[in-house]
Amino acid sequence: MIFTTLFQLIKLDYKNTYYHPISLVGVVLSTFLGLSIYWYTSLAFAPALNKDLSFYGSNLFSYILIGELTILIPTHLFTQMCTKMKLSIQNGTFESFVLSPQTLPTSILMLGSSGLGKEYVRYFFTLILATLFFSLKLNSIHFIMVLGIQLLVLPAFAGLGFAACSLLLLTGRGESITSYISMILCIFAGVYFPMEVFPTFIQKWSYYLSPFNIFLKVSRDVLYQGASSPILKSGIGILLFWDVILLSFGYILLKKSFQLAQIKGLNRPITA
């Protein structure tokens, strides 16, 4: 029942976005334009930065692209849970999710996951275009391992999404704040530049205090070294720890926030 509903939501969201096959042409063109900007920007800063990134086994173009692709799906889940919940409250469908057989967190998780279909389309279009036209080279086995790590970390980002939804329930706000937090954490996790530019103590503590940092670091290392990565086992252990802590925290916070919202009255989200 749950998987059937989730599949129907993903299918509906996909059709609403790509309502005609020709709409995919727009995705290809916009993706190609974005890749071109990254490519020529990396050439402008080469070879100086490429040399500094040699220990990542990549140049600036590959470094940024891999960072964005790695974090794309988890951050989408994190931010879209709040966005989709806000829309459901505004259009009056939220009550139907509350009354459904599934628990509220499960319903919100399905709402947030409904856009994954179109995100994976963009994900693989980007990979294909980067490989065909911009000399991106990836080891297929290592890439599959990174996809596995990406699935492994989703519970932690779902927990962050639950926390964002709790803020929305209590204050009527949260969507913009969630987007800002996601953007800031991505920047300081090293999506666009290496963590080595920060002081040593920031590098050390951020590795343990943010799931964004450890996720990106392990993914980049595995993509370069595969199963021989020296931080693979410890990194997976830390990610599992984040899964348990953040998912539990977000789940409990959402349940409590909904109970409080029922007592005080549900806040209508403010568009901001």
pLDDT in tens, the chain (272 residues): 566 766 777 777 777 777 777 877 888 899 999 999 988 887 777 665 555 555 555 677 888 899 999 999 999 999 989 888 888 888 877 777 777 777 888 888 888 888 888 888 889 999 999 999 988 888 899 999 999 999 999 999 999 999 999 988 888 777 788 888 888 888 888 888 777 777 787 777 777 788 898 999 899 899 888 888 888 999 999 999 999 999 999 999 999 988 887 776 655 554 44
272 domain residue, yes or no? no
Q: Is residue 269 part of a domain?
A: no
For residue 240, being part of any structural domain is answered with yes
Domain presence at residue 189: yes
Alpha helices, DSSP H, located in the chain = 2-17, 23-45, 48-52, 60-90, 94-98, 104-113, 116-133, 140-171, 175-188, 200-209, 211-225, 232-264
Question: Is residue 74 reached through a cis peptide bond, with omega within 30 degrees of 0 on the bond before it?
Answer: no
Domain that residue 171 falls in: 2-264
For residue 270, what pLDDT is reported?
A: 44
Query: Can you give the pLDDT at residue 52?
Result: 54
Residue 271 belongs to a domain: no
**Phi, psi torsion values for 170, nearest 5 degrees:** -85, -30
Domain for residue 113, yes or no?
Answer: yes
175 in Cβ contact with 86 (< 8 Å): yes
Cα separation values, 155 from 118, 124, 189, 229, Å: 20, 22, 19, 23
Domain count of the fold of the chain: 1
DSSP string covering 27-44: HHHHHHHHHHHHHHHHHH
